[in-house]
A and B are shown apart, each in its own frame.
Chain A
């Protein structure tokens, strides 16, 4: 029996607001345990939540960027369950009236474009962290760190429109790119800023009735998502082939074995007893607020990519690479503004600049070479003051010292020699020295042309204008 997989994804993105969603504690990652807490996020008796307006801003941003409709009125609801990392014994989330509804993302897999629906986006608070490792003085016990409790999350729920692990990855990568671009999430999967749960089910090929799904949790990289889904597809297919039934359950992915295992036995769906949180008032969003947020939306990666290709004449590949990161795109465009030759700039940004940064372990935001400096370098090249090869040397020096290209060229005497007389003189010298090779060339060994070019370049310490060298050498050899 052939099965078609149906995948729905729930992504939790941690928002990069300075403070938590319902209190003024910092959201900074990595602080000592329980040092970023207060009565509210500790769930102490008598404490009450107060909504951080910025979280709503960020949610509206996410909704607009994914083509959702923004609810004019949305409600916070309590999701009730007991767990030590949940101080109040309930999570403040949204249930009946989430802030965003009915959006979509377009993905591309193997050249095919597909629209994936987004059912909803809602705001909620994160839980704390349980630490089970051996801690000094604590032994076998587990400990609770509530720094993370009350951190704002946006939960993005996709429609079950995904039909392959590759589609799932494409969707996740697109969503990841968008939230990072919007500046609302740092997208750090290892730190848990972007978490994905996958709902996976199988149905017979050609059927329209979805099978029972399993929910996969604890997957913190794109690679693992693919592994987890593929394993799950195999597991479910085996069960169905043997005539068995899939149990609706939560399964944990184990990255060491690449398998999933059941987390909660044969338990039914947990009854969370959702009800509207009486400590919070409805979130009212008017058109003016939405317009305010819309005005601050950056150009999104897809639009930027299209513009780079169509207006700046970049190849699809180059456009995609440069548009992938907002900072990289900004660096590129700043350079183009000063040196309006997009193709040259893109070659250098994707080439030398990226190489140097990678070797140095730095990101584009920390580049020691500014767009203005890069543009100046490219100007010098264009003017013929230096050759392309010398320019690379100058760039390395710029990167190391932070000096301006013109200063480096002057200091090191790297100005390209374009004086025909001077070049001719060097050529004469070389030809005189290599009389033997000259004779061989004249008797038909054309390949030696490159040898002569090399010798002339060496004699000029690389500064001879390569185009002129070629031209003059040819004349001398054949004339």
Chain B
């Protein structure tokens, strides 16, 4: 077993037992990155010198007996995470050379525990996309099939886990951007409840939807990563002050007697047959483990995508106004005068998908349209939220597909942005409702491409979806397969 093949908890055991040093583990990871990166393109920036310094520091801590679950572990961060002194681009030309003067909270918490940052990972520009194809730094390829996308927007984070270029990674999820790439790359991806993890130091896309979460090789690792970053942050007014449970403690609770709901609106005609097959198998497995399966209804599901593309784009149009070439980021050389500087810097710096969403969002907020679009969307959002809360009166969690199809080919969905938008149908409602969900590997398509299943939990019910996923993982070995690179 290569070092880079180890899960986080396995690597931790070896570090603790002093069978391995963090420097060795980090070197192995950096070598792995180098050997496959030209094919995967998961990273925007690799930080070998910094990583080795951090690994040395971690080793010093470990030798003093100060070892945390994250100490010495090589981690990759989506390039949306603000890292002090390390270039942070958010997948965009407009931040191509932006080096932040501070660390975000999630990053700081990982560093406090002695994690080693190996690099910043590729993503759709400003997290707007489902395939990582909109990155200014080129598309990332799916390690399972290099002609396919890894999904998005946290495509680099998922691909790096699948290609074993990092022991674990952090991504963000606004409409499915952790869960969908995790599903497409055969790894575990978790979106916590809104407010569970601090957004301070996360470049904002849609403020009321964005959440930070882990992408990992297995469920245990996800529990560890979540525990490392979760918790109230006074620097984020939307972070919630409730205690963080020990996510590892309840992992093997099992699913006996657990009520699992299947929202009928998610099991639609036109679901890819391989996806349907995997889901059916999973449902049968849960049944055999003692869970009670019921049909439920989330009646406003059909409005979710439209609602999302009004709320998210509106917030994004405002969040991205700060990229104006004045204080940081790209400033056009061709500009003459103030208005020109704004127009040219942004026109040159932003990619087409970002421009599309800024315009859409601006329109939705504009005078005469605000009520009909933004306000109306927020009202529908309340109904969608109520759908979930209603369902959770009857069941403990929900089981659904992640994506209607297995991973698609690079370039396949670029012709029609709407097609791309519609493929987020199963993940978007969770963000609108603000609750938690994860993706766990549940099978492979006929073509050998990964298929994930989604478990949706009650608000702050991360423990129950982790343990339900753990129970599933224990009985299957989808997560043990490795992409042949």
Tell me whether A and B are bound partners: yes
Residues of A within 8 A of B (CB): 39, 42-51, 78, 80, 82, 84, 87-90, 144, 271, 273-275, 278-281
10 contacts between A and B (CB under 8 A): A39-B102, A44-B322, A45-B88, A88-B322, A89-B318, A89-B321, A273-B365, A275-B365, A278-B238, A280-B238
Cross-chain contact B370 with A50 (CB below 8 angstroms): no
- Tell me if B203 counts as interface (CB < 8 A to partner A): yes
Given the complex of chains A and B, what is the CA–CA distance between A293 and B181 in angstroms?
A: 52
Given the complex of chains A and B, what is the CA–CA distance between A44 and B102 in angstroms?
A: 10
The 9 closest A-B pairs by CB, nearest first: A89-B321, A278-B208, A273-B365, A278-B207, A46-B82, A45-B203, A271-B367, A46-B201, A43-B322
Cross-chain contact B199 with A48 (CB below 8 angstroms): yes
Given the complex of chains A and B, what is the CA–CA distance between A443 and B104 in angstroms?
A: 101
Cross-chain contact B237 with A51 (CB below 8 angstroms): yes
Q: How far in angstroms is the closest Cβ of chain A from B35?
A: 32
Cross-chain contact B100 with A44 (CB below 8 angstroms): yes
Cross-chain contact A275 with B321 (CB below 8 angstroms): no
* B312-334 interface bits toward A, Cβ cutoff 8 Å, 1 = contact, 0 = none: 00110110111110111000000
Cross-chain contact A279 with B238 (CB below 8 angstroms): yes
Q: Other than A273-B362, A279-B207, A279-B237, give 8 A-B pairs with Cβ distance below 8 A.
A: A46-B100, A49-B237, A50-B236, A87-B327, A89-B320, A89-B324, A144-B326, A273-B367
- Tell me if B384 counts as interface (CB < 8 A to partner A): no
Cβ–Cβ < 8 Å partners of A271 in chain B: 366-367
Cross-chain contact B326 with A84 (CB below 8 angstroms): yes
* B243-264 interface bits toward A, Cβ cutoff 8 Å, 1 = contact, 0 = none: 0000000000000000000000
Cross-chain contact A80 with B318 (CB below 8 angstroms): yes
Given the complex of chains A and B, what is the CA–CA distance between A90 and B323 in angstroms?
A: 12
Interface centre among B199, B365, B374 (most CB of A within 10 A): B365
Chain B: CB-nearest residue to A268: B367
Cβ–Cβ < 8 Å partners of A44 in chain B: 82, 100-102, 322, 328
Contact pick for B322, options A45, A273, A275, A278, CB 8 Å? A45
Cross-chain contact A45 with B90 (CB below 8 angstroms): yes
Contact pick for B342, options A47, A80, A82, CB 8 Å? A82
Cross-chain contact B237 with A45 (CB below 8 angstroms): no
Given the complex of chains A and B, what is the CA–CA distance between A43 and B324 in angstroms?
A: 11
Q: How far in angstroms is the closest Cβ of chain B from A365?
A: 36
Given the complex of chains A and B, what is the CA–CA distance between A87 and B317 in angstroms?
A: 15
Cross-chain contact A275 with B366 (CB below 8 angstroms): no
Chain B: CB-nearest residue to A89: B321
Given the complex of chains A and B, what is the CA–CA distance between A232 and B235 in angstroms?
A: 47
Contact pick for B98, options A45, A82, A84, A89, CB 8 Å? A45
Q: How far in angstroms is the closest Cβ of chain B from A264?
A: 13
Q: How far in angstroms is the closest Cβ of chain B from A445?
A: 85
Cβ–Cβ < 8 Å partners of A90 in chain B: 318, 321
Chain B: CB-nearest residue to A144: B326
Given the complex of chains A and B, what is the CA–CA distance between A87 and B319 in angstroms?
A: 11
Interface centre among A45, A144, A280 (most CB of B within 10 A): A45
Chain A: CB-nearest residue to B369: A273
Cβ–Cβ < 8 Å partners of B207 in chain A: 278-279
Cβ–Cβ < 8 Å partners of A80 in chain B: 317-318, 321, 365
- Tell me if B234 counts as interface (CB < 8 A to partner A): yes
Q: How far in angstroms is the closest Cβ of chain A from B330?
A: 13
Cβ–Cβ < 8 Å partners of B208 in chain A: 278
* B194-216 interface bits toward A, Cβ cutoff 8 Å, 1 = contact, 0 = none: 00000111111011100000000
Chain A: CB-nearest residue to B341: A84
Cross-chain contact B366 with A273 (CB below 8 angstroms): yes
Cross-chain contact A82 with B366 (CB below 8 angstroms): no
Q: How far in angstroms is the closest Cβ of chain A from B128?
A: 15
Given the complex of chains A and B, what is the CA–CA distance between A90 and B314 in angstroms?
A: 13
- Tell me if B95 counts as interface (CB < 8 A to partner A): yes
* B89-104 interface bits toward A, Cβ cutoff 8 Å, 1 = contact, 0 = none: 0100001001011101
- Tell me if B338 counts as interface (CB < 8 A to partner A): yes
Q: How far in angstroms is the closest Cβ of chain B from A472?
A: 80
Q: How far in angstroms is the closest Cβ of chain B from A92?
A: 11
Chain A: CB-nearest residue to B82: A46
Interface centre among B315, B317, B326, B370 (most CB of A within 10 A): B326
Cross-chain contact B82 with A48 (CB below 8 angstroms): no
Cβ–Cβ < 8 Å partners of A82 in chain B: 321, 324, 342
Q: How far in angstroms is the closest Cβ of chain A from B329?
A: 8
